[in-house]
Structure 1
Amino acid sequence: MCGIAGLFDTRGRRDFERALMQRMNDVQHHRGPDEGGYHFEPGVALAHRRLSIIDLATGQQPLFNEDGSVAVVFNGEIYNFQELVPELEALGHVFHTRSDTEVIVHAWEAWGEDCVQRFRGMFAFALHDRNRDTFFMARDRLAVKPMFYALLPDGTLAFGSELKVLMQHPALDRRIDPLAVEEYFALGYVAEPRTIFLGARKLGPGESLCIRRGQPIPAPKQYWDVRFTLDNDIGLADATAELTERLRESVRLRMIAEVPLGAFLSGGVDSSAVVATMAGLSDDPVNTCSIAFDDPKYNESAFAQKVADRYRTRHFVETVKSDDFDLIDTLAALYDEPYADSSAIPTYRVCQLARKQVTVALSGDGGDESFGGYRRYRMHLMEERMRAALPMGVRRPVFGLLGRVYPKADWAPRVFRAKTTFQAMARDSVEAYFHSVSLLRGDMRQRLFSADFRRKLGGYDALEVFRRHAAAAGTDDALALIQYLDLKTYLVGDINTKVDRASMAHSLEVREPLMDHKLVEWLATLPSGLKIQGNEGKYLFKKAMEPFLPNDVLYRPKMGFAVPLERWFRGPLKQRVRDAVLGETLAATGIFERSYLEHLVDAHQSGARDYSAPLWTLLMFEAFVRNTAAGAILPAAMAEAV
């Protein structure tokens, strides 16, 4: 795992400043503390920070082909690189290292842009081919690894593993994108391809960008997408057997390392399944790391201990205090743009713990999306059955009225919140799902934003992110559609972002066997009834794991990785929330309606409403503004929507 950065002159062959490249590279030192490397030639500058995992002796970057005409910088792992080496050698390529990085340059020479089709792994890389006068960059299929880029006014393309890399360049347009602000307050993150800055973009999942110097710059190309065909007629017994073998293969590939290796173990189904599989593939005890909480409401360490005991792992546990809220400014600096998932706090802590023991950790991330594990999936399916019983022409006016006049009941479980159900019934499937996952729903965002800021939005609604992906989903199956939406939005913008930044902050590589693209493709062929059956999510996965895990690990209610925001904001963080949300920093942006900010704070702190999620979202936005130079220029430079 590493950090990459670079500059490419799309129009000519200007020389780039070494001092600038050094600043761009140094700011991501945490991603690769072992070594740093540079390559300069007319029109090109490449930089790399290395965390040594494979081929410790000769895997330095930038790395070149035989004659030095192709140079690459790479972040991630190509898990099938050992299979590709003999194939490339048979085509005449000569390898000088044992690293997966060298496979990339030779695969580019052999297959060009299609080289990415041959890679199985998590990756973001950029390469320059002098002979073809071409720059090429790509991101892995599920966007596990990040790639930010910017096309600057003078025709320079800048790229890096984190947004802070691009922020070192004085020509970056750092005006805040109003549409990104709308997306953030709806989703808790800025969705691909936007960033918080108008001048920067993220390469999307399964996308590549190929630029030939002197030619018009094309849009990124999507080289992969998952297709939910649901046409596999396999029976349950055969499906559980095949799933077990596919999981073993995925885990085995991710256990290749020349440094200490372990796994996160939360006590949930996903991480427990990964640990059980690792134990079956290893002669030595698996290193496992867990976070315990001193608040029993959030503590599932006893279940992690059960799995650790069963497989005799070398188990490391640290207890996080329920008032572990000192990371707010640390997180704001780490994520570079606003990011509102409060589970970033325990994720940061478990990465901190793991790095004391290992350099590589396997995680259970991605299981909920592919296996159907979220509670919201089951609720959505129930609502879909109700929506199917009545046409939209009836539902929208009737349930829309009921949703407006019925009192809100935040205190009740969602299934008993009539207002929420009425609102969902008045919407189509995509709009209803977007509404259910929004941190601040549409009516709240309308009240949150000032009239001037709403004008700058020009009618834009973050719902358009979901509409765009739904149009490409290729399925009308109720579960498959929302799984696809999550694979394109929540998994990428929230989960993968959280784990990448938290792990890289501690120079820890995290690998994700449940996001193996071949596994994801196979699961997408299975009928939705194998994923959710009745009220049981992850039905197939749990059945497959029954021989390997205790029933109370498999079939207990899902807890998640939560922190007690509601209590914090009425107790130890009461004054901090008030100062941040109602203070000068947010007021100076011109984005917010002061009276609604006062309502959110007062209603929450009086106990009248639970506004912990909106308040955390505001708290992190305020920290972003304070912790970046954007804060100084935000009011005057807020861009018009484009």
Structure 2
Amino acid sequence: MCGISGSYGFGADTEDIARRMNACLAHRGPDGEGLFLSGSAGLAHRRLAIIDRESGDQPMTTADGRHTIVYNGEVYNYLELRAELEATGRTFATDSDTEVLLQAHAAWGSDSYDRFNGMFAFAIHDAETDTLTIARDHFGIKPLYYWHDETTGRVLFSSEIRALLAAGVFEAAPDDRAVYRYLKFRAHDDDEQTFFAGVKRLMAGQMLVIDADGVRTESFTRLQDELREIASRPGRPYSEQVVDEYRERFMESVRLRLQSEVPVGTSLSGGLDSSAVAAVIAKHLREQPEDGDFAAVGSRQNTFSAVFPNSSNDEERYVDALLADYQGQITAHKIHPDSREFLEDLQDFVRTQEEPIISSGPYAQYAVMREASKHVTVLLDGQGADEMMAGYNPYFYVYLRQLRRQKRFKELASEVVGSRDILRKLARTKYSGRTSVPIEALLNSGFVAAHAGEKVTSVQDDLKERLLQDTFRSSLPSLLRYEDRNTMRFSIEGRVPFVDKELLKFLFSLDESAIIHDGWNKRILRESMFGILPDMISKRRNKIGFTTPESEWFRKNAAALREIFASATFASRPYFESRSVLALFDDYMAHPDKHGTLMFWRLLNVELWMRAFFDQHPASRAGDEDEAPGVGAGDIAAAAGAASQEDPAGTPKSDYDPNPDKQLDLVSEVDGHTWRRFPLQTGLIARGDDLEDLVRGHVERFAAGLPEDALPAGRPWYFVISEKIVAISQGRSWFTWEIAPRRSATVLSRFVSRTPAGIGLGDPTTMELAIREVGLPRVVAASAVGAAGKVIGKRGLFYRVVGSNVRAIDGPTVYSAFPSNVSAKLPPKDPDGVSARLSAAIRAADIPAALRDSFAGTVVMDANDIGRNVLGSDASVPAERLEATFADNPLGQGRQRTPLAILVDLGDPGTVAAR
């Protein structure tokens, strides 16, 4: 395990760049370093010596001086390949797998890469052609990132992104698309684009060829296509012989990954996968203690487990069951991560991972690796088994859909019965009553609009195809990244026996019943471990794995985390609607059982990632690996900055200017008059606010600075107020998490079409308000009438029956300003009375007499991009004329915060022109 980096095309700067990048990777290779400069290329290497510690230094060059390699990883079949190369007449100067890779490339070119079984990322320079080839293993176990300047053709590559930044060649910037996909879909590590603009990851099984003609990316393997071809054939029937063969193949995969000249241990979470790895090793130590292939393990295997006593996700009892079975063969190390340490380590943990991650779960692994580094240099774990053998509960749905699509109804019925407990669990989660606030409601509306076309899809009815997708794209790549960063942060090599291409080929040659059968996933692994694992592990149904009690820790650290969400830096980001986030987090602090933490984690992770890599200019200190891993909870609170309650919209808009992309004047299609609309910007409106005082103040401000001729003398004008803020001030608006929809509301909302803006009863929260407003029988009756109306071609019958109050209910609209983006509202009470009271306040305001005399009344308007509706008015103008003046919805529903308007009737266009 090592760190590699390099460049191509930088001329005289090559050596300086190589040294800066290499210094940044010291943690990946504390045992040695080296540089190589030739032609257009510069290569750098940091070594963690595992095999041939005496003579395996890098960069390594062939005897003829033509090919030079820097390499990170282990190829487990290197002895077989070496024998084959020696048979062709090649000689070797070392015992390392590095030289085998180098000689294989010299003999067979890039065709050799597909023959390597293991984990690798390497770069090979050909001095004869001045070509640089970099490649990444079949599964992407070892990382490889690159930056390419398409104008100059220059290239940087490295094991970690921080080394690319340390080169000082380009300015670090976030990739907004990657940030959006992470926040919205929890997607990351699933395509070539990283979270850093211009920085790409080489995908699994790819190589990048760089020469004077440019850069090209190619796949060196057909592994994924080969697996599809294998899966398309009739599967080998499941049998005891198949189970025995799988066991032997798995044990061989574990044995291969014990090749080492330094101590080897095992991660042990208590789950099926890591327990299987640990048990296979322990069983062999018991039965064949003198086996030289297991010498690196020692007489007793060191295992490392994160445990959380008294926590809901603690797996210590499973760990203890395995330890009891193999007490003479295992030395156990239990690590107790807690909320205090988590907060102290958080900044280093975020920086270690380099890019945002899906949850705080990998912190448990981080804590385990810190302790393991005191005892071993290589660590095996169970990564990959879930993606290859359907270890997550949603895979049951995929398999059931496949059986239905294939019309295998007998098997379908059997699987439904066998997995009924899991299906019940999934249903309970879906209907848990926990708040489900759409992430868009917490994000900047412009940011959301810019990426509205992004989609993330998954295979829904083909089990093996879904496993392929998750193995190579959607799931395993991120887990491998977590592991690589956590292990290398503490100079440990991580090895993953399940992630073996030959083992996966065998698995895909079997019928799906080897993977899922009678409601049991990982069937072949479970049955192959009978007699090796305790039954309570091999037959356990619940899955936890290396994770943390995130909800408990968030509650304990809530005050410190709130400091971050309330900070000026968080509010300044182009991604977040900070007031909405803070409101939701405050409610979480008050009612933690009503909220999950995954969404909060993503928001928090992006903010801390921005601080780590952009706010503090890390390129200038990227090589400082002596920095203490813990920075302290106090430092996080200090870094959060002062809480900012200022309006993040920026400089206030003038009362006399239109909102962006809108206009002041509109010629009405109803009366032919020109109407001028002045949108007035306000602060946030809250429950209990005095609207009369608010409106009086805004009218006085408008009048005090009114430009000449902006409102011609004597022309009638009206005051317009959005129904939203009337409802909010009356206490008829609730945060979505304050509304607990009953089951009937959830069911009925599914039969209502959502409008493009999200308004209406297509949301359980708004349907719940409708039921509260008019009663369930009336809503059900209206639904029946509406359904009948659709059959005979008549629309709108639902609202005729249910009433105008229900029609005016608004749901959370993600484009709106806080709190409308996270709330649902009933229509305002007595809107005509509100209009009259506001008109009285305006007439009592300190404004010029002429302006007071031309005031013609107040209008409570429900306007959006779909339609307009006057809910209340004390003006004498017919509602249809007033509604027509808002045909283009001139009020700003987002950060403009202009829910008020001065509406002026300028008369017909001829009159306007004459003036």
Alignment TM-score, normalising by the size of structure 2: 0.60
2:453 aligned to which of 450, 460, 484: 460
Is 2:427 the partner of 1:415?
yes
Distance 1:137 1:456 in 2: 34
AA paired with 2:571? Answer: A
Corresponding position of 2:305:
290
1:444 aligned to which of 419, 429, 438: 438
Corresponding position of 1:568:
553
1:252 aligned to which of 255, 261, 270: 255
Task: Indicate if the aligned counterparts of 1:531 and 1:538 stay in contact, CA closer than 8 A.
Answer: yes
Task: Indicate if the aligned counterparts of 2:570 and 2:578 stay in contact, CA closer than 8 A.
Answer: no
AA paired with 2:119? Answer: M
Corresponding position of 1:275:
278
Deviation at 1:380, TM superposition (A): 4.2
Deviation at 1:140, TM superposition (A): 0.8
Task: Provide the aligned C-alpha RMSD in A.
Answer: 2.6
Corresponding position of 1:162:
160
Task: Please give the residue correspondences for 1:197-236 in structure 2 after superposition, counting only pairs within 5 Å.
Answer: 197-211=196-210, 213-221=211-219, 223-226=221-224, 227-228=227-228, 229-230=230-231, 231-236=234-239
Post-superposition CA distance 1:220-262 (Å, at most 9, x none): 4352433244433233212111101101211111111111112
Task: Indicate if the aligned counterparts of 1:247 and 1:277 stay in contact, CA closer than 8 A.
Answer: no
Is 2:125 the partner of 1:128?
yes
Post-superposition CA distance 1:551-574 (Å, at most 9, x none): 11111222222322223333x211
Post-superposition CA distance 1:429-472 (Å, at most 9, x none): xxxxxxxxxxx99x824323312213432x33241xx46xx6xx
Deviation at 1:477, TM superposition (A): 5.3
Corresponding position of 2:858:
none
Distance 2:429 2:275 in 1: 33
Distance 1:188 1:563 in 2: 20
1:356 aligned to which of 374, 391, 394: 374
Change (3 A) 1:279 1:632: closer
Alignment TM-score, normalising by the size of structure 1: 0.85
Change (3 A) 1:298 1:189: same
Change (3 A) 1:418 1:361: closer
Corresponding position of 1:314:
330
2:61 aligned to which of 57, 61, 64: 64
Deviation at 1:321, TM superposition (A): 4.1
Distance 1:51 1:72 in 2: 16
Deviation at 1:630, TM superposition (A): 5.6
AA paired with 1:359? Answer: T
Deviation at 1:419, TM superposition (A): 6.0
Distance 2:198 2:56 in 1: 33
Task: Indicate if the aligned counterparts of 2:7 and 2:43 stay in contact, CA closer than 8 A.
Answer: yes
Q: For structure 1, which segment, 222-231 or 93-102, has the greater mean C-alpha deviation from structure 2 after superposition?
A: 222-231
Corresponding position of 2:469:
485
Corresponding position of 2:881:
none
Post-superposition CA distance 1:592-629 (Å, at most 9, x none): 22343134313322226323001111111111111113
Report SS of the residue matched to 1:628.
Answer: helix
Corresponding position of 1:424:
none
Rg larger in structure: 2
Task: Please give the residue correspondences for 1:508-527 in structure 2 after superposition, counting only pairs within 5 Å.
Answer: 508-527=492-511
Change (3 A) 1:529 1:41: same
Post-superposition CA distance 1:82-104 (Å, at most 9, x none): 11112112223221111000111
Change (3 A) 1:225 1:584: farther
Report SS of the residue matched to 2:70.
Answer: strand
Is 2:186 the partner of 1:187?
yes
Report SS of the residue matched to 1:145.
Answer: coil
Corresponding position of 2:362:
344
Corresponding position of 1:586:
570
| Paired residues, number | 578
Corresponding position of 1:38:
35
Distance 1:94 1:488 in 2: 36
Task: Indicate if the aligned counterparts of 2:235 and 2:512 stay in contact, CA closer than 8 A.
Answer: no
Task: Indicate if the aligned counterparts of 1:76 and 1:122 stay in contact, CA closer than 8 A.
Answer: yes
Corresponding position of 1:430:
none
Task: Indicate if the aligned counterparts of 1:15 and 1:43 stay in contact, CA closer than 8 A.
Answer: no
Post-superposition CA distance 1:508-552 (Å, at most 9, x none): 111111111110121122222221112211111101110211111
Runs of at least 5 residues in structure 2 that lack an aligned partner in the other structure: 290-298, 408-423, 619-647, 649-915
Post-superposition CA distance 1:339-367 (Å, at most 9, x none): 23311111011112222211111111111
Instruction: Tell me the percent identity.
Output: 31
Change (3 A) 1:545 1:247: same
Change (3 A) 1:522 1:630: farther
Q: Which has the higher contact order (CA 8 A, sep 6+)?
A: 1
Deviation at 1:417, TM superposition (A): 5.1
Runs of at least 5 residues in structure 1 that lack an aligned partner in the other structure: 390-411, 422-439, 471-475, 636-642
Deviation at 1:281, TM superposition (A): 3.9
Distance 2:95 2:463 in 1: 43
Corresponding position of 1:6:
6
Corresponding position of 2:315:
300
Report SS of the residue matched to 2:216.
Answer: coil
AA paired with 1:161? Answer: S
AA paired with 1:6? Answer: G
Report SS of the residue matched to 1:219.
Answer: strand
AA paired with 2:282? Answer: A
Change (3 A) 1:334 1:542: same
2:384 aligned to which of 363, 366, 375: 366
Corresponding position of 1:396:
none
Task: Indicate if the aligned counterparts of 1:140 and 1:206 stay in contact, CA closer than 8 A.
Answer: yes
Report SS of the residue matched to 2:215.
Answer: coil
